[in-house]
């Protein structure tokens, strides 16, 4: 089966920069999956996303949409943007029309849809993202969280096959964050693809079907959260363990409530997962019981395809 979108050895250097932002990035996206992209600041997540819908054009390498090479003429770019929507890291880069309703209608109308169909999609997406009461508001008069929801609603109104969400969760309150995650979950449940760049390692562990780890402009590995988060080699790229491992709340509150003497004799030991020997990349390329989807191709990215056909 052909991936919806495939990035092959994509390289890119921003004008004026000495160092490349992408140094041969590979990623294949298949339908029905929620993929978290992790990596330190500057590892290339946003640059990778901007390539996925043709805002940036690679200096080298190739993008494929449904197996066909993306050419950067108008028709090819329109096709790419019809299928791949992006919610920018900074919503101010996304919202440019005077009012929310105008902003949300822009994408669907630009796809050539009728006014009636564009309005239907805008209403539906606005209800999903709970921004109906904001539709007539000027875009500049919104809070950060409202802007993020409007930006997402605008992309949903385009009904893309792939939606890329670049680190917007931090601007949302916990209720809205859960709601947006649930919208994205439903989106993937309808056979579409969600790619979420995040620093929230706990979220990546629990919400994502697959985790991609980026460093230095490359995608180091793509695999299930279980595999990624039990690999010492990958964890070294992800950040301090405290960021994703926290003692279960019940144990913590029990410890706080326990009598002093009891606590002195029975310290609550954090249940740190047993480290896995060796680098992660090996299990990714060799079919194993833990990773039966690997095709053993030697290319860690090639495995994503089989995994997403389940």
Which residues contact ligand ADP (rule: CB under 6 A)? 14, 17, 21, 39, 41-47
CA dihedral 66, 72, 77, 80 (to 10 degrees): 20
Q: How far is the CB of 161 from Mg ion (least distance, A)?
A: 22
Closer to ligand ADP by Cβ: residue 43 or 105: 43
47 binding partner (options ligand ADP, Mg ion, none; Cβ < 5 to 8 Å by kind): ligand ADP
Contact between 283 and 291 under an 8 Å Cβ cutoff? The reply is yes
- Of the chain, the end-to-end C-alpha distance in Å amounts to 12
Burial code of 20-31, b = ≥16 C-beta within 10 A, e = fewer?
Answer: bbbbebbbbbbb
Closer to Mg ion by Cβ: residue 31 or 42: 42
- Strand 193-197 vs strand 162-166: parallel, antiparallel, or unpaired? parallel
Closer to ligand ADP by Cβ: residue 128 or 198: 198
Q: How far is the CB of 238 from ligand ADP (least distance, A)?
A: 13
Q: How far is the CB of 6 from ligand ADP (least distance, A)?
A: 19
CA Rg, the chain, in Å?
21
Closer to Mg ion by Cβ: residue 163 or 280: 163
Q: How far is the CB of 309 from ligand ADP (least distance, A)?
A: 28
Closer to ligand ADP by Cβ: residue 21 or 95: 21
User: Residue 144's closest CA among 88, 185, 106, 183?
Assistant: 88
43 binding partner (options Mg ion, ligand ADP, none; Cβ < 5 to 8 Å by kind): ligand ADP
Contact between 131 and 149 under an 8 Å Cβ cutoff? The reply is yes
| Residue 113, C-beta contacts closer than 8 angstroms, at least 6 positions apart | 121
Q: How far is the CB of 14 from ligand ADP (least distance, A)?
A: 3
Q: Which residue is nearest to Mg ion (CB)?
A: 46
242 binding partner (options ligand ADP, Mg ion, none; Cβ < 5 to 8 Å by kind): none
- Strand 5-12 vs strand 218-223: parallel, antiparallel, or unpaired? unpaired
Q: How far is the CB of 237 from ligand ADP (least distance, A)?
A: 12
42 binding partner (options Mg ion, ligand ADP, none; Cβ < 5 to 8 Å by kind): ligand ADP
Closer to ligand ADP by Cβ: residue 44 or 305: 44
Distance between CA 158 and CA 168 in Å, rounded? 19
Closer to Mg ion by Cβ: residue 157 or 212: 212
Any idea which residue has 């919806």 for tokens? 4
User: Residue 134's closest CA among 101, 156, 88?
Assistant: 101
Distance between CA 114 and CA 223 in Å, rounded? 41
Q: How far is the CB of 40 from ligand ADP (least distance, A)?
A: 7
The residues binding Mg ion (CB under 5 A) are: 45-46, 89
């Amino acid at each position: 089966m052909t991936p919806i979108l495939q990035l092959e050895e994509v390289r890119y250097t921003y004008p004026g920069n000495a160092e490349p932002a992408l140094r041969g990035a590979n990623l294949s996206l298949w339908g029905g999956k929620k993929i978290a992209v992790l990596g330190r600041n500057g590892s290339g997540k946003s640059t990778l996303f901007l390539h996925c819908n043709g805002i940036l054009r690679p200096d080298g390498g190739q993008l494929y949409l449904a197996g066909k090479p993306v050419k950067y003429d108008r028709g090819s770019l329109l096709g790419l943007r019809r299928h791949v929507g992006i919610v920018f890291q900074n919503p101010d880069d996304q919202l440019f029309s005077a009012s929310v309703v105008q902003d949300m209608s822009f994408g669907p109308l630009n796809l050539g849809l009728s006014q009636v169909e564009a309005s239907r999609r805008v209403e539906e997406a606005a209800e999903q993202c709970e921004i109906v009461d904001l539709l007539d508001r000027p875009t500049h008069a919104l809070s950060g969280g409202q802007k993020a929801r409007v930006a997402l609603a605008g992309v949903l109104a385009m009904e893309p096959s792939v939606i890329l969400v670049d680190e917007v969760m931090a601007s949302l309150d916990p209720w809205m964050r859960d709601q947006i995650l649930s919208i994205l979950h439903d989106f993937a449940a309808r056979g579409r693809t969600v790619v979420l760049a995040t620093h929230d390692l706990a979220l990546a562990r629990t919400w994502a079907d697959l985790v991609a780890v980026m460093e230095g402009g490359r995608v180091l590995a793509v695999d299930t959260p279980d595999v990624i988060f039990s690999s010492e080699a990958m964890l070294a790229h992800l950040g301090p363990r405290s960021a994703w491992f926290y003692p279960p709340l019940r144990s913590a509150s029990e410890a706080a409530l326990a009598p002093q003497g009891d606590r002195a004799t029975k310290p609550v030991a954090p249940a740190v997962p047993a480290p896995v020997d060796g680098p992660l990349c090996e299990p990714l390329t060799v079919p194993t019981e833990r990773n039966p989807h690997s095709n053993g191709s030697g290319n860690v990215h090639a495995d994503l395809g089989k995994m997403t056909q389940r």
